[in-house]
A = this chain, B = another copy of it.
Amino acid sequence: MNTANAQTISLKFNESKIEIIDQTLLPFTEQWIDITDPKDAVLAIKNLKVRGAPLIGVVASLCFGIFCRKENNKQQRLFWWEQLITSRPTAVNLVHFMNEIKPLVDSETSGELIFKKAYSFFKSDQSMCDKMASIGAEVLIQKLGLVELPNKQFSLLTHCNTGGLATAGQGTALSVIKNMGLKFSQMMTYVDETRPLLQGARLTTWELGHTKQKYKLICDNMAGFLMMQKKVDAVLVGADRITSTGDSANKIGTYSLAVLCHYHKIPFYIVAPTTTIDSLLKFGSEIPIEERSPNEVRGFASSKESLQWALEEVEVYNPSFDWVPSSLITGWITEDGYYEKEDLAQGSFAKYQKAGVI
């Protein structure tokens, strides 16, 4: 297994060390930090230096794999396994990856095998991203008629950050966008700033700039006016959870975008690995929606600075996610292939019984 010098936009890796880009300092400072033992990983995860469920899962499991090659003591291994799996309770891939490793720890498997298992998660995430990028580009080229008109000017729109800062590969929706941008130099992407945490403004702009793609940042409330002016040809977003019927939960604001696309007859795609599909759920209404701190809406806080513009006593409604009914979704781009509503009606998503288990 050749693992030397593996590198993504957010992760550098060789067999003894992981480095991650400190996402709390982006977009202003590109600082890489060493993750040499599980304690470093736990701290980086807790302090949000690494974000995105797939990326967190890969960093934690890889770091644990490296640790187990040096540490044979079962109690020590179990202690750090526990610390890592609880470091970010909402990161579904972290829980799944660590749970897959658990039997190896229990059976006192060699560190080398545990490392190999962790490494397979990394490679699998990268490979899923590459497949989505490739399948998504095929779908868009067909849908936008780019075979017949390869020089057509067109624009995509995306929400939040679904790129190499969220995954251990190229990303989900953003992997498709970056792949399309490489193929079509006349393409440009509108990036929703994505209030309240501004992942679009801070991270997606940085990532698209880093990879020399053309984009423009907008406030979330400008998307409709762009569509009215026929300036958006397709919208691509990620998903946190997809039900058997295709209802898809994603960052707050996604539902509004889907309605706007429906009204303007603009194709709206979900790009997500099949590990996101939880076919034990049928409808989006079954997905619990977390409400987050009102302070996120009363102002904005980065790792270094904060600014409040609404009074402390201002009441807030701050759901972190919403969900889009499958009726508003043109298609689902996964690493396993492209699906439309007709496919789902025939049970295409039913086989993904256990969400998150690769």
Query: CA–CA, A201 to B206, complex, Å?
Result: 27
Per-position binary interface string of chain A over residues 192-209, scored 1 when its CB falls under 8 Å from any chain B CB and 0 otherwise: 111110100110011001
Q: A27-B311, A260-B256, A316-B216 are in contact. Are A192 and B221 (CB under 8 A)?
A: yes
Closest CB in chain B relative to A180 CB, distance in Å: 18
Task: Report whether A315 and B221 are in contact in the complex, using a CB–CB cutoff of 8 Å.
Answer: no
Copies in the complex: 2
Could you say which residues of chain B place their CB within 8 Å of the CB of A226?
317
Query: CA–CA, A258 to B333, complex, Å?
Result: 30
Q: A218-B316, A225-B322, A297-B193 are in contact. Are A310 and B201 (CB under 8 A)?
A: yes
Q: Which of A196, A218, A263, A314 has the largest count of B CB atoms less than 10 A from its CB?
A: A314
Task: Report whether A311 and B223 are in contact in the complex, using a CB–CB cutoff of 8 Å.
Answer: no
Question: CB within 8 A of A259: which of B209, B255, B259?
Answer: B259
Query: CA–CA, A256 to B219, complex, Å?
Result: 12
Q: Which of A27, A225, A306, A316 has the largest count of B CB atoms less than 10 A from its CB?
A: A225
Query: CA–CA, A22 to B313, complex, Å?
Result: 21
Per-position binary interface string of chain A over residues 208-251, scored 1 when its CB falls under 8 Å from any chain B CB and 0 otherwise: 01000011111111111110100000000000000000000000
The reply to whether the CB of A28 lies closer than 8 angstroms to some CB of chain B is yes
Tell me which residues from 286 to 327 in chain A have a Cβ below 8 Å from any Cβ of chain B: 297-298, 300, 302, 305-307, 309-311, 313-319, 322
Task: Report whether B310 and A27 are in contact in the complex, using a CB–CB cutoff of 8 Å.
Answer: yes
Could you say which residues of chain B place their CB within 8 Å of the CB of A316?
216-218
Size class of the A contact interface (CB-based, 8 Å): 35 or more
Question: CB within 8 A of A307: which of B220, B225, B307, B310?
Answer: B307
Question: CB within 8 A of A219: which of B196, B209, B214, B217?
Answer: B196
Task: Report whether B206 and A311 are in contact in the complex, using a CB–CB cutoff of 8 Å.
Answer: yes
Q: A217-B297, A256-B256 are in contact. Are A311 and B222 (CB under 8 A)?
A: no
Task: Report whether A221 and B256 are in contact in the complex, using a CB–CB cutoff of 8 Å.
Answer: yes
Closest CB in chain B relative to A317 CB, distance in Å: 5
The reply to whether the CB of A56 lies closer than 8 angstroms to some CB of chain B is no
Apart from A201-B309, A205-B314, A209-B313: 6 A-B pairs, beta carbons within 8 A = A205-B311, A206-B311, A217-B315, A217-B317, A221-B221, A225-B322
Partner-B contacts on A (CB < 8 A) = 27-28, 190, 192-196, 198, 201-202, 205-206, 209, 214-226, 228, 252-253, 255-256, 259-260, 262-263, 297-298, 300, 302, 305-307, 309-311, 313-319, 322
| 9 closest cross-chain pairs (CB), A and B | A221-B253, A224-B256, A220-B221, A225-B322, A195-B219, A307-B307, A201-B310, A216-B317, A216-B315
